């Protein structure tokens, strides 16, 4: 481990001032990924900026018809929120199976999407919920869909002087998340799926979003597959059709945790199960 | 047979054993006060580290440590060039220019702190030439294969000659001629990691006075072996090395080789710098360089007659021992146990190890039994299926019975309570009904399965080595008692068990007894704390010492009563004049008089069990003083679409002889079950070209608390005089049959035979998908029925 400086700030403005410096700054939120990357030598920071004490970055609230989560809100806070449980069940379930209780007490939702690990458990739920990321920098801000925010394995569009402030999404009453891990806790995902459905009064699907995690270099939306269900219900026919088009959306890879073959053959299985779970909620 | 806890607790009539007593080390451990070697700090202490090989097999062609020595804070850099000899007494190399596996080391460094140590290790200029390597016995045994050890008189090619052990009974070749059914199968197991919580850690403290004794504080499990490693590397006598055992954070059979090497490397650096040196392996270093459970390839040939009686059993057991090895004696145990707990007239077993350029194999909980029970129990199920017989009918027909002979011809004269264990467990789990019902689940996506394994285990070291040990008991003038043993607390609960045993022998409350723990200067070398020998055999010497000391104390009490020693008894901490109700003197009063009148206040005794008449060369005879019997029932659910295997319940029964401490036994069993589950369905050590890819617990999957199945442990007791107070082994029996039972249950659920472990859900789905495919690799999947998903 090399020497580095450490700055802890209490406000977003202070953080943005530090980020505006010419020096390379690594933002530390919960630290559950940053510390590992330092440990195994993938990251050699020169300045760590601790944002975990910024109260403005914490909390879950309803605002302008959206659910808004501060970027430094921990996974356990999300898992304990009735607002999330009622309006974003997929995210609630993801929080429930995320690593272990100790990690969930530290890890934050902003850190989860910004680290952009292919196996991030928070990201697929936010992809399915059509989350939007609020990004701030000194003298400005922008809001972009989370699906545009993560662009690859450990890659986002975040500029060096920017900070993720919050994530928001529209409430969804029918969503679900399923994870396959190699043990029942503290498991990095072999694959995950999140489904968000909107139904009309006849329980016909009007909007369907399916996101997969850990299948490829980054979290992805299965845009061809999800279209199959719009105007229908989850049933044998739509499942069969989905299975035909799913190959257009997913290109699983071989890895330490699972083979390409395994990931491909189980992706539609957990998607079907998540669709049924979300539909029947 | 009595079951412990079924209202028969006092049946054996003991006061301080055969019951719960809180662990004597529990308070320190749960409050974080226990001192592990890594917690120690000495004035002027340096931090040591090692440069491990980046290759599975390589020759160092250039090394220059000048730059590393210039790093501020660095006190010492040593390489293989600085050693008098590279090879240790235990075959491994302390440091070497020839790196035979990833765990080999070419240089070591001592520095003021971790950061300068890491900088120094990175600054060593070193060039390697990669050498052709072999990773599996198949590759290593091919003609012309690269040799792991050239010109080594202990090798025939890559086969380690010393590791050849066999068992011979009857004439298998003649018997196969007359068999009605013959089945040949190959079973395989892969290596798994002990995953102890504490990694290898040692602090070597030099002494600059004329006596020059190097003291090593280490989390070692065999302090006398650690002393051997350190004396060897420094080239000094045993008397110049003192090893003090610190609290051990888990062993499970491991922490011998890498512990000895870590202590040796720390001692080298301490000797060179004249300062204390602490060396603690990182988790990654521990996983790449420590031993693993031996990977086995087992080639079986089994013959029966039409009635299903086994006539002949033949097994060739080939072990991938990795680059170095010091466990040839395991193969004696493997040879004796290969056929399982069955009566077979003709047996031929050959066991041998093959060197490869991969991670080394060493002792791990079960010491060959988890592999062999997995293989043979499935083999017997396969044979029953071949015969069209129910496998339990087949197993019961061939089961070893009292008065019969086991595979090596030992007459089983002690009670065999296996039928009682099976009846009880089957009743508790509704085994037979479930097993039959689960055969018809073709439409379900999640299928239930129930399976079993039964087994026995020779207690202690048996004919492998003298099962001898030292024990001492000392009484102080205030009535407190101090005990010591040449065997050690590895986390298994031995300090508590020994305390209870001495309390029972003296008949004094356990809370006045103190166990000091091993310092090699205080007690003779008593061999390894392993083989589930400690309570069964190792405590005999402490019991003998307590009995002798009690005699002296009775003489003092008799003097005080003006009576003869025969007229006095010691009961529950009180000396009593027999038949005189009010004539009572407390233990501490007698102890005080005992001291001030100059009576013998301490006894050290040696125990060696009776000689066993076993012919190692012919593989025949009495192999163990006694055996412990057991069975495990596993209940699982398999998700046919994702391959997920959920172990819902484990019900197990073990023959404990006499339970010393019921909760310690339960603790051993729960831990054993979780390790056994890992061995069946989780713990995949991924090695690519000799390099371990799963070198920490994010990728190497040991079970978490969330993965623990429901466990129902039934403790059976029996009458058997061989062990201390009739106790039998449980540390290893608790884990050895678990994987076999889980795999049996998976077969019951899916109809598919699994011939290689560990598997995980990814493998399980692959096996389900390819079970109708004739080309499945390695005989992994069996081509049968009910796999249409």
User: Rounded to a whole number, what is the distance in Å from the CA of A41 to chain B's nearest CA?
Assistant: 12
Nearest to B685 by CA among B99, B158, B194, B134: B194
Q: Check CB contact under 8 Å for B641 and A261.
A: no
Rounded to whole angstroms, the Cα distance separating B337 from B167 reads 10
Rounded to whole angstroms, the Cα distance separating B279 from B267 reads 9
pLDDT at B782: 34
Tokens of A187: 């498991």
Asked if residue B777 has pLDDT above 60, the reply is no
ipTM for the predicted complex comes to 0.95
Residue B563, CB half-sphere, CA atoms under 13 Å: how many? Answer: 17
Asked if residue B410 has pLDDT above 60, the reply is yes
Q: Check CB contact under 8 Å for B704 and A1.
A: no
Partners of residue A3 in chain B, C-beta under 8 Å: 115
Per-residue confidence band for B9, with pLDDT thresholds at 50, 70 and 90? low
Question: Could you tell me how far CA B132 lies from the centroid of its own chain?
Answer: 33
Partners of residue A184 in chain B, C-beta under 8 Å: 704, 706-707
Q: What does residue A206 show for φ and ψ, rounded to 5 degrees?
A: -100, -25
User: Rounded to a whole number, what is the distance in Å from the CA of A257 to chain B's nearest CA?
Assistant: 7
Q: Is B448 helix (H, G, I), strand (E, B) or coil?
A: strand
Question: Could you tell me how far CA B259 lies from the centroid of its own chain?
Answer: 15
Asked if residue B369 has pLDDT above 80, the reply is yes
Partners of residue B643 in chain A, C-beta under 8 Å: 262, 266
CATH 3.40.1110.10 corresponds to the domain B37-132+200-277: no
Kindly report the average pLDDT of chain B as a whole number.
94
User: Rounded to a whole number, what is the distance in Å from the CA of A174 to chain B's nearest CA?
Assistant: 24
Contact status of A41 with chain B (Cβ, < 8 Å): no
- To test the contact with chain B by mutation, choose from A252, A256, A274 the residue with the greatest count of B C-beta atoms within 10 A, namely A256
CA trace torsion A261, A262, A265, A267 (10° rounding): -120
Partners of residue A276 in chain B, C-beta under 8 Å: none
Tokens of B284: 């990654």
Residue-wise pLDDT tens digits, B61-74: 999 999 999 999 99
**Whole-prediction pTM:** 0.96
Where along chain B do its domains lie? 6-31+468-607, 37-132+200-277, 292-462+617-782
Contact status of A269 with chain B (Cβ, < 8 Å): yes
Asked if residue B382 has pLDDT above 70, the reply is yes
Residues 613-652 of B with CB under 8 A from A: 641-644
Residues 186-205 of A with CB under 8 A from B: 186-188, 190
- To test the contact with chain B by mutation, choose from A35, A182, A271, A276 the residue with the greatest count of B C-beta atoms within 10 A, namely A182
Contact status of A183 with chain B (Cβ, < 8 Å): yes
Q: Check CB contact under 8 Å for B644 and A180.
A: yes
Per-residue confidence band for B779, with pLDDT thresholds at 50, 70 and 90? very low
- CB nearest to B762's CB, from A3, A184, A262: A262
Q: Is B219 helix (H, G, I), strand (E, B) or coil?
A: coil
Residue-wise pLDDT tens digits, B503-515: 999 999 999 999 9
* A41: closest chain B residue by CA: B118
Per-residue confidence band for B781, with pLDDT thresholds at 50, 70 and 90? very low
pLDDT at B772: 63
DSSP string for B291-335: -EEPPEEEEEEEEE-TT--EEEEEEEEEEEEES----TTHHHHHH
Of residues B774 and B476, which shows the higher confidence score? B476
- To test the contact with chain A by mutation, choose from B701, B703, B773, B776 the residue with the greatest count of A C-beta atoms within 10 A, namely B701
The radius of gyration of chain A's CA atoms, rounded to the nearest angstrom, is 19
Min mean pLDDT across B406-410, B466-470, B779-783 is at B779-783
User: Rounded to a whole number, what is the distance in Å from the CA of B403 to chain A's nearest CA?
Assistant: 45
Q: Check CB contact under 8 Å for A184 and B707.
A: yes
Residue with the two structure tokens 């202690």: B460
Per-residue confidence band for B532, with pLDDT thresholds at 50, 70 and 90? confident
Question: Do the domains B6-31+468-607 and B292-462+617-782 sit in the same CATH topology, yes or no?
Answer: yes
Asked if residue B491 has pLDDT above 50, the reply is yes
Question: For the residues B343-367, what does the mean pLDDT come to?
Answer: 97
Partners of residue B707 in chain A, C-beta under 8 Å: 183-185
> Domain B292-462+617-782 adopts which CATH fold?
Aldehyde Oxidoreductase; domain 4 (3.30.365)
Residue-wise pLDDT tens digits, B16-73: 999 999 999 999 999 999 999 999 999 999 999 999 999 999 999 999 999 999 999 9
Residue-wise pLDDT tens digits, A3-61: 899 999 999 999 999 999 999 999 999 999 999 999 888 899 999 999 999 999 999 99
Residues 87-126 of B with CB under 8 A from A: 115, 118
DSSP string for B720-739: -SSSGGG----TTHHHHTHH
Q: Check CB contact under 8 Å for A256 and B686.
A: yes
pLDDT at A41: 85
CATH 3.40.50.300 corresponds to the domain B6-31+468-607: no
pLDDT at A1: 57
Confirm if B667 and B730 have CB atoms less than 8 A apart: no
Nearest to A198 by CA among A167, A229, A222, A242: A229
* B693: closest chain A residue by CA: A256
Partners of residue A1 in chain B, C-beta under 8 Å: 115, 118
Question: Could you tell me how far CA B657 lies from the centroid of its own chain?
Answer: 20
Asked if residue B273 has pLDDT above 50, the reply is yes
Per-residue confidence band for B7, with pLDDT thresholds at 50, 70 and 90? low
Residue-wise pLDDT tens digits, B180-226: 999 999 999 999 999 999 999 999 999 988 888 999 999 999 999 99
Give the contacts of B75 (CB within 8 A, at least 6 positions apart).
B46, B110, B111, B112, B273, B275
Over pLDDT 90: what percentage of chain B? 90
* A264: closest chain B residue by CA: B642
Partners of residue B116 in chain A, C-beta under 8 Å: none
| Helix or strand (DSSP H, E) at B139 | helix B137-140
Give the contacts of B438 (CB within 8 A, at least 6 positions apart).
B447, B448, B449, B450, B748, B749
Rounded to whole angstroms, the Cα distance separating B171 from B168 reads 8
Partners of residue B47 in chain A, C-beta under 8 Å: none
Q: Check CB contact under 8 Å for A266 and B765.
A: yes
Contact status of A44 with chain B (Cβ, < 8 Å): no
Q: Check CB contact under 8 Å for B769 and A259.
A: no
Residues 733-762 of B with CB under 8 A from A: 760-762
pLDDT at B784: 30
Residues 711-730 of B with CB under 8 A from A: none
pLDDT at B332: 97
* A187: closest chain B residue by CA: B698
Q: Check CB contact under 8 Å for B762 and A258.
A: yes
Q: Check CB contact under 8 Å for A185 and B705.
A: yes
* B768: closest chain A residue by CA: A262
Per-residue confidence band for A121, with pLDDT thresholds at 50, 70 and 90? very high
Q: Check CB contact under 8 Å for B642 and A256.
A: no
Pairing of strands B74-79, B105-111: antiparallel
Partners of residue B677 in chain A, C-beta under 8 Å: none
Nearest to B439 by CA among B390, B386, B387: B390
Q: Check CB contact under 8 Å for A261 and B644.
A: no
Bridge partners (DSSP) listed for residue B653: B631, B714
Question: For the residues B67-82, what does the mean pLDDT come to?
Answer: 98
Residue with the two structure tokens 């076993």: B614
Tokens of B634: 């596993």
DSSP state of B404: S
Asked if residue A95 has pLDDT above 80, the reply is yes
Q: In residues, how long is chain A?
A: 281
Strands, E assignment, chain A: 5-8, 26-28, 47-50, 60-63, 66-70, 132-137, 140-145, 150-152, 155-156, 162-169, 174-180, 191-199, 205-213, 220-221
Q: Check CB contact under 8 Å for B762 and A188.
A: no
Kindly report the average pLDDT of chain A as a whole number.
96
Q: Check CB contact under 8 Å for B706 and A185.
A: yes
Q: Check CB contact under 8 Å for A265 and B769.
A: yes
């Amino acid at each position: 481990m090399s020497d580095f400086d450490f700055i802890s700030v209490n406000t977003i403005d202070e953080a943005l001032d530090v980020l505006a410096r010419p020096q390379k700054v690594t933002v530390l939120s919960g630290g559950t990924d940053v510390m590992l990357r330092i440990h195994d030598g993938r990251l050699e920071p020169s300045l760590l900026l601790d944002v975990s004490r910024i109260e403005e970055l914490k909390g879950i609230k309803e605002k302008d018809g959206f659910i808004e989560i501060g970027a430094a809100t921990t996974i356990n806070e999300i898992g304990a929120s009735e607002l999330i449980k009622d309006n974003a069940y997929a995210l609630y379930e993801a929080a429930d199976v995320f690593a272990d209780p100790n990690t969930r007490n530290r890890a934050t939702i902003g850190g989860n999407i910004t680290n952009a690990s292919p196996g991030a458990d928070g990201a697929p739920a936010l992809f399915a919920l059509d989350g939007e990321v609020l990004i701030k920098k000194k003298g400005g801000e922008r809001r972009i869909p989370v699906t545009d925010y993560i662009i690859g394995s450990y890659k986002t569009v975040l500029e060096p002087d920017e900070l993720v402030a919050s994530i928001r999404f529209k409430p969804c009453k029918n969503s679900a998340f399923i994870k396959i891990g190699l043990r029942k806790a503290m498991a990095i995902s072999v694959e995950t799926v999140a489904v968000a459905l909107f139904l009309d009064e006849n329980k016909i699907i009007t909007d369907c979003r399916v996101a997969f995690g850990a299948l490829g270099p980054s979290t992805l939306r299965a845009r061809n597959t999800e279209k199959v269900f719009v105007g229908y219900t989850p049933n044998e026919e739509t499942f069969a059709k989905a299975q035909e088009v799913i190959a257009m959306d997913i290109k699983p890879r071989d890895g330490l945790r699972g083979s390409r073959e395994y990931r491909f053959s189980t992706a539609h299985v957990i998607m079907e199960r998540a669709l049924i779970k979300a539909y029947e909620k | 047979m009595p079951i412990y806890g079924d209202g028969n607790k006092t049946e054996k009539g003991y006061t301080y054993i055969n019951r719960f007593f809180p662990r004597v080390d529990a308070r320190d451990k749960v409050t974080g006060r226990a001192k592990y070697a890594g917690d120690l700090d000495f004035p002027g202490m340096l931090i040591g580290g090692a440069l491990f090989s980046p290759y599975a097999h390589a020759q160092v062609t250039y090394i220059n440590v000048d730059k590393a020595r210039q790093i501020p804070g660095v006190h010492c850099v040593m390489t293989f060039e600085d050693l008098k000899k590279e090879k240790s007494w235990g075959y491994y190399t302390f440091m070497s220019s020839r790196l035979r596996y990833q765990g080999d080391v070419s240089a070591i460094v001592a520095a003021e702190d971790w950061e300068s140590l890491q900088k120094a290790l990175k600054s060593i200029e070193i060039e390697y030439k990669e050498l052709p390597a072999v990773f599996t016995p198949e590759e290593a045994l091919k003609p012309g294969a690269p040799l792991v050890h050239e010109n080594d008189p202990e090798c025939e090619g890559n086969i380690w000659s010393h590791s050849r052990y066999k068992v011979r009974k009857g004439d298998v070749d003649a018997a196969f001629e007359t068999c009605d059914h013959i089945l040949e199968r190959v079973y395989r197991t892969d290596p798994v990691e002990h995953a102890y919580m504490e990694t290898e850690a040692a602090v070597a403290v030099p002494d600059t006075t004329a006596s020059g004794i190097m003291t090593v504080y280490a989390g070692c499990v065999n302090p006398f072996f650690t002393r051997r490693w350190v004396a060897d590397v420094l080239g000094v006598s045993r008397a110049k090395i003192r090893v003090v055992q610190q609290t051990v954070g888990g062993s499970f059979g491991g922490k011998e080789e890498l512990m000895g090497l870590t202590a040796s490397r720390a001692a080298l650096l301490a000797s060179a710098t004249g300062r204390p040196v602490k060396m603690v392996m990182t988790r990654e270093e521990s996983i790449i360089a420590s031993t693993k459970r031996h990977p086995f390839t087992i080639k079986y040939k089994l013959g029966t007659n039409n009635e299903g009686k086994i006539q002949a059993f033949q097994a060739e057991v080939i072990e991938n021992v990795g680059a170095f090895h010091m466990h040839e004696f395991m193969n004696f145990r493997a040879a004796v146990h290969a056929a399982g707990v069955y009566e077979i007239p003709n047996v031929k077993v050959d066991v041998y190890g093959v060197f490869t350029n991969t991670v080394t194999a060493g002792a791990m909980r079960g010491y060959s039994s988890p592999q062999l029970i997995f293989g043979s129990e499935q083999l017997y199920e396969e044979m029953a299926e071949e015969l069209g017989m129910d496998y339990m009918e087949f197993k019961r027909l061939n089961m070893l019975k009292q008065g019969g002979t086991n595979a090596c011809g030992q007459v089983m004269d002690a009670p065999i309570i296996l039928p009682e264990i099976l009846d009880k467990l089957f009743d508790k789990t509704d085994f037979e009904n479930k097993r039959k019902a689960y055969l018809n689940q073709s439409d379900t996506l999640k299928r239930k399965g129930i399976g079993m394994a039964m087994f026995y285990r020779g207690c202690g070291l048996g004919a492998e080595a003298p099962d001898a040990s030292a024990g001492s008991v000392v009484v102080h003038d205030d009535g407190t008692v101090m005990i010591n043993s040449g065997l050690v607390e590895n986390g298994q609960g031995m300090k508590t068990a020994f305390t209870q045993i001495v309390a029972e022998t003296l008949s004094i409350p356990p809370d006045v007894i103190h166990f000091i723990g091993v310092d090699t200067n205080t007690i003779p070398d008593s061999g390894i704390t392993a083989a589930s020998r400690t309570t069964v055999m190792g405590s005999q010497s402490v019991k003998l010492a307590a009995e002798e000391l009690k005699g002296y104390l009775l003489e003092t009490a008799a003097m005080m009563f003006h009576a003869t020693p025969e007229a006095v008894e010691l009961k529950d901490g009180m000396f009593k004049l027999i038949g005189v109700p009010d004539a009572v003197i407390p233990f501490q009063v007698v102890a005080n008089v005992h001291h001030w009148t100059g009576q013998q206040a301490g006894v050290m005794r040696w125990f060696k069990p009776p000689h066993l008449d076993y012919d190692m060369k012919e593989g025949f005879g009495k192999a163990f003083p006694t055996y412990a019997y057991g069975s495990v029932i596993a209940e699982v659910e398999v998700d046919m679409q994702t391959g997920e295997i959920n172990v819902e319940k484990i019900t197990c029964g073990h023959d404990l002889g006499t339970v010393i401490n019921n909760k310690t036994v339960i603790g051993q069993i729960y831990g054993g079950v979780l390790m056994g589950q890992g061995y069946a369905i989780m713990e995949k050590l991924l090695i690519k070209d000799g390099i371990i890819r799963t070198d920490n617990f994010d990728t190497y999957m040991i079970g978490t608390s969330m993965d623990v199945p429901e466990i129902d442990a039934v403790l059976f007791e029996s009458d058997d005089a061989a062990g201390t107070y009739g106790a039998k082994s449980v540390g290893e029996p608790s884990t050895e049959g678990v994987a076999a039972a889980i795999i049996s249950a998976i077969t019951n659920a899916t109809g598919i035979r699994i011939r290689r472990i560990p598997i995980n859900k990814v493998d399980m789905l692959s096996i389900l998908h390819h079970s109708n495919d004739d080309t499945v690799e390695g005989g992994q999947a069996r081509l049968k029925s009910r796999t249409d998903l």
